[in-house]
Amino acid sequence: MKLLKIGMVGLGRLGKRHAENLALRCPGAKIEAACSLDPVERAWAKTRLGVEDLFEDFSAMLESADIDAVFIASSSAFHTAQTVAALKAGKHVFCEKPMGISVQECLAVEEAAEVRPNQVFMVGFVRRFDPSYRYAKEMIDAGAIGEPFLVRSQTVDLDEYAAFQVGFVPSSGGIFLDMNIHDIDLARWYLGDEVESAYAIGGSFVHPEFAQVKDADNTCALLKFASGKMADLSVSRTAFHGHDTHTEIVGTKGILKIGMTPAKNRVEIFDLHGARVPCVKDFYERFEEAFRAEAMAFVECALNGDAPIVKARDGTEATRVGFSLAESFREGRIAIVRR
């Protein structure tokens, strides 16, 4: 069996989960080296995963580790530089979203990836690997709902994480770039078209701190695509029932809805509170299987030389629309999205 030797970059909360998936649930993958600024995280890689080749410095790992691929889950600010360096060093690269913290950064990645068609580059739009989102895509491609013309999609987080998120707004780019970016990618994927104009409204209805950093805790947005198709996107940071990502695709012959109730599993409870469904707590609980499938897809593309279903350009375009939404929200006008 062929093995893909991987250098893992970043071992924070999400990085750890990526690393466990690669090490324990992705046949064909081997974490050969890992890189983290934090000695505790490096120790974890050794103890938990048996990784021996550990680095504090990314460049050092790139130079000296025996790796075919780099899997980047570091802080967003490093994504572009690490991706471009790894591509230049001849490695396959998986990069968590965002691909860059500006459209310019994204374009740099796009360029570096395009000139190396034999290396796999993939950006982490994890929802595309969720079994339900994939099933919907297959149904649409098979004509089940005719021609899709409207995507409604929302990303909703538990309120208990909101206070913690305020501090991340400057580096994450705020609600549109950090959260809606997944919905933007889904809308582009399902509609097969590019966004022409964007309009967003929002407010800090529960946590006024977001207003102070010119962000919001709840937003609504409309996208108009080149063909006239539409997307209706929302974000909420203030849910109490669970992480509630759901998406609806409206076509000329029918509608698909994905995940309308964010059920934790197949259990229902009937008690004093009524008939109820326990809900997933966070994006990782909701997309656990998708994260595994995403890692596996990267490994298989790299081993087999296949093209991934998420390309650098998808990262650029979603980022471009995200910035347009942020601009529309801040300036109170329709933003034109130009390529």
**Segment 108 to 137, residues that bind a copy of itself, using CB under 8 A:** 131-132, 135-136
Which class for 232: exposed (0-12), middle (13-18), buried (19 or more C-beta within 10 A)?
middle
**Footprint (CB under 8 A) of a copy of itself, residues 53-92:** none
CA-CA distance, 232 to 264, in Å (whole number)? 26
- Closest approach, Cβ 114 to a copy of itself, in A, equals 33
Find the Cα–Cα–Cα–Cα dihedral 162, 168, 174, 179, rounded to 10°: -60
261 binds a copy of itself per the rule CB under 8 A: yes
1 binds a copy of itself per the rule CB under 8 A: yes
139 binds a copy of itself per the rule CB under 8 A: yes
- Closest approach, Cβ 196 to a copy of itself, in A, equals 10
| DSSP codes joined into one string, 76-123 | GGGHHHHHHHHHHTT-EEEEESPS-SSHHHHHHHHHHHHT-TTS-EEE
Amino acid in the structure at residue 243: H
Nearer to a copy of itself, 1 or 40 (CB): 1
**Footprint (CB under 8 A) of a copy of itself, residues 281-300:** none
Q: Give the SS3 label for residue 300.
A: helix
| The one segment of 55-63, 88-96, 260-268, 312-320 that binds a copy of itself by CB under 8 A | 260-268
Choose, by CB under 8 A, the member of 46, 88, 333, 339 that binds a copy of itself: 333
Burial readout 271-293 (b: 16 or more C-beta within 10 A, e: otherwise) = eeeeeeeebbbebeebbeebbbb
CA-CA distance, 104 to 96, in Å (whole number)? 17
Site size for a copy of itself, by CB under 8 A? 72
Which class for 134: exposed (0-12), middle (13-18), buried (19 or more C-beta within 10 A)?
middle
Nearer to a copy of itself, 23 or 67 (CB): 23
- Closest approach, Cβ 194 to a copy of itself, in A, equals 15
Nearer to a copy of itself, 171 or 261 (CB): 261
Query: Are the beta carbons of 257 and 246 closer than 8 angstroms?
Result: yes
**Footprint (CB under 8 A) of a copy of itself, residues 141-180:** 144-145, 147, 149-150, 152
266 binds a copy of itself per the rule CB under 8 A: yes
Choose, by CB under 8 A, the member of 2, 40, 164, 265 that binds a copy of itself: 265
- Closest approach, Cβ 124 to a copy of itself, in A, equals 20
Residue in 126, 128, 122 with CA at minimum distance from that of residue 69: 122
- Closest approach, Cβ 44 to a copy of itself, in A, equals 15
The pattern of x and - marking residues 214 through 253 that bind a copy of itself according to CB under 8 A reads: ----x-xxx-x---xxx-x-x-x-xxxxx-x-----x-xx
**Footprint (CB under 8 A) of a copy of itself, residues 17-36:** 23-25, 27
- Closest approach, Cβ 234 to a copy of itself, in A, equals 7
Residue 1: HSE in the Cβ half-sphere, 13 Å Cα cutoff? 10
As given in the structure block, the two tokens for residue 190 are: 């399902």
The pattern of x and - marking residues 194 through 213 that bind a copy of itself according to CB under 8 A reads: -----x-xxx-xx-------
Give CA separation, 206 vs 35, 62, 159, in Å: 38, 45, 9
DSSP letter, residue 263: B
Q: ∠ CA 191-308-226 to the nearest 5 degrees?
A: 25
279 binds a copy of itself per the rule CB under 8 A: yes
- Closest approach, Cβ 310 to a copy of itself, in A, equals 20
